Amino acid sequence: MFIYHITTRKEWDKAVKKGIYKSPSLSTEGFIHCSYQQQVQDSAQKYFSGKDNLVVLCIEPDLLRADVREENPPDSKEKFPHIFGALNLEAVIEVQPLLVDDEGQFRFEG
């Protein structure tokens, strides 16, 4: 089962050039926020509303060098996967654009 991370196209392009991805939350919180497929749209609406040029990284957890832990954020009863370390690029199986419909709602099919 894949896990998913939302970022900007610009940040992803930088990661590809560097050979590794580190989200800002890795230095501030100690992990990279991820979602399961059914959580991506809600996470996008909550944290990325009004932003564009976003992509979703489809990540194979078995290929990660860093640990993944399921945790409950303080404001949620749902568990979310968190990557505790940098994201090695070979674990990213696919990069999909995060589309926005005519009403400004994100759409992600996975």
Please tell me the pTM assigned to this model. Answer: 0.94
Asked if 80 and 36 count as a contact pair (C-beta separation under 8 A), the reply is: yes
3-state class (DSSP) for residue 2: coil
- What does residue 49 show for φ and ψ, rounded to 5 degrees? -55, 130
User: Per-residue pLDDT for the chain (110 aa), expressed as one digit of tens each?
Assistant: 999 999 999 999 999 999 999 999 999 999 999 999 999 999 999 999 989 899 999 999 999 999 999 999 888 889 999 999 999 999 999 999 999 888 888 988 77
Which domains are assigned to the chain?
A: 3-107 (3.20.170.20)
pLDDT computed for residue 16 by the predictor: 97
Q: Vertex 55, ends 103 and 100: CA angle to 5°?
A: 10
pLDDT computed for residue 105 by the predictor: 87
Rounded Cα–Cα distance for residues 17 and 26 (Å)? 19
